[in-house]
Copies of this chain bind each other. A is one copy, B any other.
Amino acid sequence: MKDTVSFSELTAHQRLQRRYQRVRQMSLWLCKPLLIEDYGLQAAAEVSPPKWHLAHTTWFFETFLLKPHSPGYQAYHPEFERLFNSYYQGVGPQFQRPHRGLLSRPTLEQVESYRKRVDDAMMRLIETLHQPDILALIELGLHHEQQHQELMLTDIKFSFSANPLLPVYCDIPLTNAENANSALNWTAFKHATIRQGFSDDGFHFDNETPVHEVIVPPFKMANRLITNEEFLQFIDDGGYHDPLLWLSDGWQMKQQLDWSAPLYWQKHDEQWHEYTLHGLAPLLPASPVTHVSYYEAEAFARWAGKKLPTESQWEYAKTTTETEGDEQLLIEGEQPIFHPASAGSLTQLSQLFGSCWEWTQSAYLPYPGYQPMAGAVGEYNGKFMCNQMVLKGGSCATPADHIRSSYRNFFYPKDRWQFSGIRLVE
């Protein structure tokens, strides 16, 4: 995938076309290990089938770019507006989310043809565009697709895990080599008034703005994520059986869903294993614990006598510290490992990007003065600002050019199917 001309020689239009193609191809590339039968899997209401992801991300461009801005564009299929609308009430009614797996038709072939048709039209549209707000919408569509690339991976993992055959998504085995860490150590941060939120030029979601001042009292942050080995101590110490360690809602959820370990942990012959996108494997002690809910992360922190970071603390730490060499993000053209790796011998602040999404103790709420985007895309972020918690940092399934310090991911406290992990502060 090497460029034959240097990227800087291209025009802005050509650069956007290139980026458009690369992002779109990445989605297909991530589906390569799948068989046709896998494309329809939906093991829970909040999980979508890969085929649906492929169609929905295409729908985004058709609905918000081609229909309004490409004169003469004909919708690929009259029913797709409904079938592949996720939650945009401003666009119209949506096919019921829990039933997406029942859409055996359109077939994979038809969805690929839908993608092709929309991609061709988008290539032509880009050539003629000059309005910055429409170019921004295309950029939004690409970041939207990148979000779905991560979801596709975590959704496949979840759906595969419902099959006792435990299918392997990526046949490169996880290695136990160098699976060791230095002891946890702590970086101190002074009292400060920080500017939180996005303040640069480039792309960002509306929920990262406006930038605003926040007072942050002094704190210390753990240099790396909590490992499986450390989490095992919590389990062995009765962490899942002591209600005093848990938030009230968390304890109820734990009881109701009968949690006794992170999502993909399984015990075989008295030995802990973990189901991963690389198949079932013995638990790697020094790898970050992942697929834990906010409730489990919070209980672990209480047990450890520490706290989870606030969003402000995390952003302060990330933007004021050198944290080189610790990124494990999804990079085009490189063979990824779809599982968080050990921090190894690093002792400075590390694993802030890539690895796992880190639960913060901050609720997902609007920044002061927040304004959602105009139009139906205004539903993208704003309407979810209730009942969810902010996660920071990206994971091993996050595309590398999609993450920022100001990025605010959000999930319900009970959610476990993302690559979510634990960072402590004190």
Contact = CB atoms under 8 A, between A and B. Distances in A.
Interface residues of A, number: 64
Contacts of A217: 212, 368-369
Contacts of A368: 217, 310
Interface string A88-120: 011000010001011111111000000000000
Interface string A287-299: 0000000110010
Contact of A163 (B104, B243, B387, B413): B104
A244 interface: yes
A159 interface: yes
A249 interface: yes
Contact of A108 (B37, B99, B167, B247): B37
B361 A362 contact: no
Contact of A82 (B40, B164, B246): B164
Number of copies of this chain that the complex holds: 4
A361 B369 contact: no
Contacts of A89: 243-244, 251
A394 to B, nearest CB: 23
A39 B41 contact: no
Contacts of A379: 244
Nearest to A294: B386
A213 to B, nearest CB: 5
Nearest to A108: B37
A141 interface: no
Contact of A215 (B101, B214, B251, B295): B214
A129 interface: no
B248 A43 contact: no
B104 A40 contact: yes
A363 interface: yes
Nearest to A82: B164
Contact of A106 (B165, B249, B385): B165
B35 A383 contact: no
Contacts of A51: 37
Interface in A237-284: 243-244, 246-251
A162 interface: yes
A37 B247 contact: no
A359 B250 CA distance: 24
Interface string A21-46: 00000000000000111111101000
Interface in A5-61: 35-41, 43, 51
A236 interface: no
Contacts of A214: 215
Contacts of A40: 37, 40-41, 104
Contacts of A250: 386
Contact of A35 (B107, B212, B386): B107
Contact of A164 (B95, B164, B246): B95
A384 interface: yes
Contact of A37 (B107, B193, B298, B310): B107
B164 A83 contact: yes
A249 B386 contact: yes
A265 to B, nearest CB: 20
14 contacts: A38-B105, A40-B41, A41-B104, A101-B101, A102-B162, A103-B163, A103-B165, A212-B215, A212-B217, A246-B383, A249-B384, A250-B386, A298-B386, A310-B368
Given A193-B215, A248-B386, 16 more contacts: A36-B36, A37-B40, A37-B107, A37-B108, A40-B104, A82-B164, A89-B244, A104-B159, A105-B167, A246-B383, A247-B384, A248-B383, A295-B386, A298-B386, A310-B368, A363-B365
Interface of A: 35-41, 43, 51, 79, 82-83, 87, 89-90, 95, 99, 101-108, 159-160, 162-165, 167, 193, 212-215, 217, 243-244, 246-251, 294-295, 298, 310, 361-363, 365-366, 368-369, 379, 383-387, 413
